[in-house]
């Protein structure tokens, strides 16, 4: 039920995120009722509540359904040292219900939960203290730990008697809701649902309750789920471990370098008190945007939201992220050993969303890997057969702060990662020395337009992007300006950006190294090896 933003799909990232603005002016032509009507800029209805909650609406009356996206300006970058993964954990906990949803008797359940969290926190503390000592656990300490663990187990069983499992999802299902989901990324956290338009009062009641009165029931169970998720996605996944190691090498100061799912030791150290405090800091209405697209009556929706969400008090000002990633002054290389086929990842530091050069990278992304006729696909995959696949992402792993332009490739045996790496650098050098032909450049712009038109035929696509840009750019209108900026990119811009950013000193290279007979294949000299 609960998804996250740990996808390794480079193309999907580009298509569904920052290039949305390329076709906003075309999007409404897909809506028959709007073909001859006002532009999107005129059709987006914006309302801001006294508590700071932002509401965006677009009417589309073709079918009696509404797509809703609630986006909070909180993600992995907002976590404190020692609490990595807490944003993702809370996203999981947000589906556990409230004081009225997910419980048979909250009064009795709360008393049990309070005791459970007291004992569970004490057990966690004892285990950490003993782990620091690094010695065998004395018999008396072992007995004490076992007693605490039994208490936790008994209290979990008792608390479970009051739980109505998945009640929120079941309520939505009974009222025709589909697509209930959530995701956590570096910059934001999102909650989505599609439902019949006449069920908006149900949605408003449920989501306002969840924003105001969440209950962290089944905390330790869900913490274990997240740990298992980390094992599957990162620890035991060649791609996951490579990108975790690669990203941590590229960002040595900024929190973009920390995995969104969190470090294992941090996850096991998270407490209900930590998680509740995180919620109170970042989940206030003043840090949220709600986008509704579909069969809505704006006046009625505003009145409904004022009546429900308007009662929730604003949270205090969240701590600012003050850390800036220092300029990289030398190539960084890491290797990850794994019993899997090699992979190469190359990343170059680049500016954040809103910088003039950011739009140029979207075009470069398209030139290099957009389709079968793109440069890297043609050269490395089809002609030279150096790689089985190639990809790129113009905004990895986030957009709010300076990020990375990354390229990925899977070498095709018997070719080595070094051969593939050299071929990629050759194509990047072409961007520096040879102006991109006008025909090729126009083709990429057209392809970006077409991609976006296909991606935004749905109400959910538009709701997603309106809330995205309101949160990450501070103004949903950012999407309206993007097409013009992309269209204005010149061959000279591409040459300048390539020469400025695609340098050896500005790059980080990660390689997945296949083990052979228990030994790794030879890697680059001086590389850091993750085991």
The answer, as to whether pTM is greater than 0.75, is yes
For residue 211, the model assigns a pLDDT of: 98
Superfamily of domain 332-456+474-530: Metalloenzyme, LuxS/M16 peptidase-like (3.30.830.10)
Question: Which CATH class for the 43-311 domain?
Answer: alpha beta
* Residue 390 token pair: 């190639």
Ranges of the chain whose pLDDT falls below 70: 1-38, 453, 455-456, 516-531
Query: Which pairs with CB-CB distance under 8 Å and at least 24 residues apart come from 522-530?
Result: 523/335, 524/333, 524/335, 524/418, 526/333, 527/333, 527/334, 527/335, 528/249, 528/333, 528/334, 528/335, 529/334, 529/335, 529/336, 529/337, 530/241, 530/245, 530/334, 530/335, 530/336, 530/337
43-311 with 332-456+474-530: one CATH topology? yes
* Residue 331 token pair: 């190539």
C-alpha to C-alpha distance for 97 and 206, rounded to whole angstroms:
9
Residues 6+ apart with CB under 8 A from 99: 106, 209, 213, 215
For residue 455, the model assigns a pLDDT of: 65
Looking at residue 399, what DSSP letter applies?
A: S
Looking at residue 177, what DSSP letter applies?
A: -
For residue 163, the model assigns a pLDDT of: 97
Q: Where exactly are the structural domains of the chain?
A: 43-311, 332-456+474-530
Q: What is the CA radius of gyration of the chain?
A: 25
Q: Which H helix or E strand runs over 168? A: helix 167-174
Three-state secondary-structure class, residue 190: strand
- What are the φ and ψ backbone dihedral angles of 428, each rounded to 5 degrees? -65, -40
For residue 531, the model assigns a pLDDT of: 26
Looking at residue 163, what DSSP letter applies?
A: B
C-alpha to C-alpha distance for 279 and 211, rounded to whole angstroms:
9
For residue 530, the model assigns a pLDDT of: 34
For residue 20, the model assigns a pLDDT of: 28
Closest CA to 342 of 409, 393, 243: 409
């Amino acid at each position: 039920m609960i998804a996250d933003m740990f996808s390794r799909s480079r193309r999907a990232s580009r298509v569904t995120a920052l290039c949305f603005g390329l076709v906003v002016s075309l999007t409404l032509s897909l809506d028959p009722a709007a073909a001859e009507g006002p532009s999107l800029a005129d059709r987006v209805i914006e309302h801001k509540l006294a508590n700071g909650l932002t509401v965006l609406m677009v009417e589309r009356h073709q079918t009696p359904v509404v797509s809703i996206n609630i986006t909070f300006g909180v993600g992995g970058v907002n976590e404190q040292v020692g609490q990595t993964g807490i944003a993702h954990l809370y996203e999981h906990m947000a589906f556990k219900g409230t004081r009225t949803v997910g419980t048979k008797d909250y009064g009795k359940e709360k008393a049990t939960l309070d005791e459970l969290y007291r004992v569970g926190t004490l057990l966690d503390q004892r285990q950490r203290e003993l782990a620091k000592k690094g010695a065998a656990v004395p018999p008396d300490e072992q007995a004490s730990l076992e007693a605490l663990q039994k208490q936790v187990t008994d209290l979990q069983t008792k608390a479970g008697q009051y739980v109505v499992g998945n009640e929120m999802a079941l309520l939505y299902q009974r009222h025709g809701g589909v697509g209930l989901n959530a995701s956590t990324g570096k910059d934001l956290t999102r909650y989505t649902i599609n439902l019949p338009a006449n069920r908006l009062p149900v949605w408003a009641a449920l989501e306002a309750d969840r924003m105001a009165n969440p209950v962290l029931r089944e905390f330790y169970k869900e913490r274990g789920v997240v740990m298992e998720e980390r094992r599957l996605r990162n620890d035991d996944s060649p791609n996951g471990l490579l990108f975790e190691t690669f990203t941590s090498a590229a960002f040595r100061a900024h929190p973009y370098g920390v995995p969104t799912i969190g470090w294992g030791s941090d996850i096991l150290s998270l407490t209900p008190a930590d998680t509740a405090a995180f919620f109170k800091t970042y989940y206030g209405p003043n840090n949220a945007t709600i986008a509704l697209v579909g069969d809505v009556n704006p006046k009625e929706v505003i009145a409904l939201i004022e009546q429900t969400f308007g009662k929730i008090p604003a949270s205090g000002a969240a701590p600012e992220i003050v850390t800036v990633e220092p300029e990289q002054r030398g190539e960084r290389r890491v290797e990850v050993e794994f019993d899997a086929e090699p992979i190469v990842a190359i990343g170059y530091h680049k500016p954040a969303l809103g910088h003039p050069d950011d739009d140029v990278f979207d075009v470069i992304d398209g030139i290099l890997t957009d389709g079968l006729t793109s440069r890297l696909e043609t050269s490395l995959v089809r002609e030279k057969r150096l790689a089985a696949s190639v990809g790129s992402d113009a905004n990895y792993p986030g957009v709010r702060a300076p990020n990375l332009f990354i390229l990925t490739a899977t070498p095709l045996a018997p070719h080595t990662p070094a051969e593939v790496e050299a071929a990629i650098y050759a194509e990047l050098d072409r961007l520096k020395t040879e102006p991109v032909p006008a025909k090729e450049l126009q083709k990429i712009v057209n392809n970006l337009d077409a991609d976006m038109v296909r991606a935004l035929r749905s109400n959910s696509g538009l709701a997603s992007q309106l809330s995205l840009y309101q949160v990450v750019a501070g103004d949903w209108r950012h999407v309206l300006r993007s097409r013009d900026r992309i269209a204005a990119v010149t061959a000279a811009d591409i040459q300048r950006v390539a020469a400025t950013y695609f340098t050896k000193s500005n790059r980080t290279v990660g390689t997945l190294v296949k083990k052979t007979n228990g030994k790794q294949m030879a890697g680059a000299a001086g590389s850091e090896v993750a085991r």
